[in-house]
Amino acid sequence: MTLGVLANLALVLAALVWLARRARAGAPLSQNVLVALVLGVALGAGLQAVYGVGHAALVETLTWVNVVGGGYVRLLQMVVMPLVLISILAAVARLGDARALGAIAGGVLGLLMVTTAVSAVIGIVVTRLFGLTADGLVQGARELARGEALASQLGQVSSLSIPALLLSFVPVNIVSDLSGARSTSVISVVIFAALLGLAVLALRRENPEVGARVAAGIETLQHLIMRLVRLVIRLTPYGVFALMTRVVAMSNLDDVINLGGFVVASYLGMAVILLMHAGLLALAGLNPVRYFQKVWPVLTFAFSSRSSAAAIPMSVETQVSRLGVSPAIANFAASFGATIGQNACAGLYPAMLAVMIAPGAGIDPTSLSFLGTLVLVATLGSFGIAGVGGGATFAALIVLSTLNLPVALAGLLISVEPLIDMGRTAVNVSGSMTAGAVTSRALKQTDMGVFGAGADAESVAAPAAAEPGVRPALPVA
């Protein structure tokens, strides 16, 4: 390890210590996450300015920095499956009426699909507004290799069918799914937990004494897993700082400038999608400003980590303890939203690519038949990507191949893919939390006292000493 690397790591350590002192001094989680984000951007930009992309000292420094960022993401991924299993099991066991489960699942899925369809329309509009086309994009070695890789993945898409997709959701080996062995493992665990919850309801009717003991055990496990989640979430500022440092330090400014039009159009489209979320919240009687103030730490983590699945624990905890969403709805929204109906990855992005590529394939991108088919395919494809994984990449493959457009051209955007994917992930997570908040409000299950509290009230990072006697970690649905 060189002297330069040691100096870099000393700066990183000093920043982490400073963030820890802010937390101990009582700085709210949302503020500390914002400070960590800015600090990470500044340090990443400074390291790149000093060393340049690809420098050996920079690479070694970022390898060590990734121990913090990557370690935090792994901790969140560690609690995803236990959280989904126990929380949904407990929430369904509390419902009292199994019919409520259908209303919850239908409301969440319906909102996810509708917002994805609107997101596809937004993608079409911003692409036409900026006049973006695939003509003139540079095909270097990286772009050509990416295009060939995408073309080789078409087999996974062509083998998809709706019956096969639905069948893949049904769990066969729940132990295997709890390990995340399949791309549909999260949904399979959701289904298993819901069925197990229904079994608890039946048991409580048939044998109230045994059912009460089982319900008490589930409640205890739920408090345990939520305490673990809160312990991990308190590390968010350090994870965000490390992740942003690494992303910014590895970004190539020249590539971003060359594809600046697509980057700007993408972020404009994502901003409009967030305005759509705000509109839905307002229609449901929820203050959009207060909503975004409270979900800021979750969106920041999603932005820096580029992982919707890893954001599930933060999403569930924030919906329940800061937005007042029913636990059952929060768990369904976070779990389904990580794999189905992703507004930016499955709606906005594939629509933008299709409109850009269509002219080169001899297709009029303004024809109503093309646009109607594009929105329909993007919406249904948002459901289909859960069967193959890979988020935006497979959503694009599904849409482009269905419309008979060359998929290899999507590889031309590889240079700015990480930068755009950060925003896409944050928008996807916002979409899932919006679906949860609106559904909970529509079903009259939202605790408006919790939602109306200050942005930093009932923070997910609140110390354990503040918990007893205030309110349970998860309210009764």
Average pLDDT over residues 51-78: 89
- Confidence (pLDDT) at 434: 96
* Residue 7 belongs to domain spanning: 3-466
Average pLDDT over residues 293-319: 88
pLDDT of 159 > 70? The answer is: no
- Confidence (pLDDT) at 409: 63
pTM exceeds cut of 0.75? yes
- pLDDT category, 477, cuts 50, 70, 90? very low
* CA distances for 367 relative to 124, 267, 326, 364, angstroms: 12, 25, 43, 6
Other beta carbons less than 10 A from residue 9's beta carbon: 15
CB 301 within 8 A of CB 237: no
Position 473 in a domain: no
pLDDT of 181 > 80? The answer is: no
Position 226 in a domain: yes
Average pLDDT over residues 343-372: 87
Position 133 in a domain: yes
Tokens, residue 312: 């599930």
Average pLDDT over residues 326-353: 86
- Confidence (pLDDT) at 60: 92
Tokens, residue 49: 């300015």
Average pLDDT over residues 275-280: 96
**Closest to 463 in 3D by CA, of 226, 234, 224:** 234
Tokens, residue 128: 């036409």
**Closest to 180 in 3D by CA, of 384, 315, 328, 335:** 335
Q: How many CA atoms lie less than 13 Å away from 449 in the CB half-sphere?
A: 3
**Closest to 294 in 3D by CA, of 444, 460, 80:** 460
- Confidence (pLDDT) at 387: 40
Position 27 in a domain: yes
> Poorest-confidence range of 31-35, 90-94, 104-108, 244-248?
90-94
**Closest to 401 in 3D by CA, of 207, 151, 50, 209:** 151
Query: Rounded to an integer, what distance in angstroms lies between the CA atom of residue 89 and that of residue 333?
Result: 15
φ/ψ (deg, to 5) at 53: -65, 130
- 96 CB-near residues (< 8 Å, 6+ apart): 201
Position 237 in a domain: yes
Coil, strand or helix: which one is 234?
A: coil
Average pLDDT over residues 153-175: 69
- Confidence (pLDDT) at 415: 63
440-474: pLDDT as tens digits:
999 999 999 999 886 554 444 333 333 333 333 33
Whats the size of the chain, residue-wise? 477
- Confidence (pLDDT) at 337: 84
403-423: pLDDT as tens digits:
888 776 665 666 677 788 889
Chain Cα centroid distance, residue 109: 15
- 222 CB-near residues (< 8 Å, 6+ apart): 86, 87, 90, 473, 474
- Confidence (pLDDT) at 458: 44
CB 410 within 8 A of CB 396: yes
Opening angle at CA 92, ends 91 and 96, nearest 5? 110
Average pLDDT over residues 287-304: 92
Average pLDDT score over the chain: 81
pLDDT of 386 > 70? The answer is: no
Position 474 in a domain: no
Of 120 and 468, the one with more pLDDT: 120
Average pLDDT over residues 381-407: 68
What percentage of residues in the chain have a pLDDT greater than 70? 82
Cα pseudo-dihedral 361, 362, 368, 372, rounded to 10: -20
The number of distinct structural domains making up the chain is: 1
Other beta carbons less than 10 A from residue 62's beta carbon: 20
- pLDDT category, 155, cuts 50, 70, 90? low
**Closest to 235 in 3D by CA, of 324, 305, 320:** 305
- Confidence (pLDDT) at 294: 93
- Confidence (pLDDT) at 463: 34
Other beta carbons less than 10 A from residue 450's beta carbon: 18
Average pLDDT over residues 171-192: 83
- pLDDT category, 270, cuts 50, 70, 90? very high
Of 134 and 52, the one with more pLDDT: 52
Tokens, residue 459: 């923070």
71-90: pLDDT as tens digits:
988 898 888 888 888 888 88
Position 476 in a domain: no
Tokens, residue 32: 């500390």
Of 229 and 273, the one with more pLDDT: 273
Burial (Cβ within 10 Å: 0-12, 13-18, ≥19) of residue 191 = middle
- Confidence (pLDDT) at 276: 96
> Poorest-confidence range of 89-103, 190-204, 209-223?
89-103
- Confidence (pLDDT) at 471: 36
Say which CATH number the domain at 381 has. Answer: 1.10.3860.10
- pLDDT category, 125, cuts 50, 70, 90? very high
- Confidence (pLDDT) at 177: 85
Query: Rounded to an integer, what distance in angstroms lies between the CA atom of residue 176 and that of residue 180?
Result: 7
Average pLDDT over residues 384-403: 66
Position 475 in a domain: no
> Poorest-confidence range of 97-111, 271-285, 365-379?
97-111
- pLDDT category, 42, cuts 50, 70, 90? very high
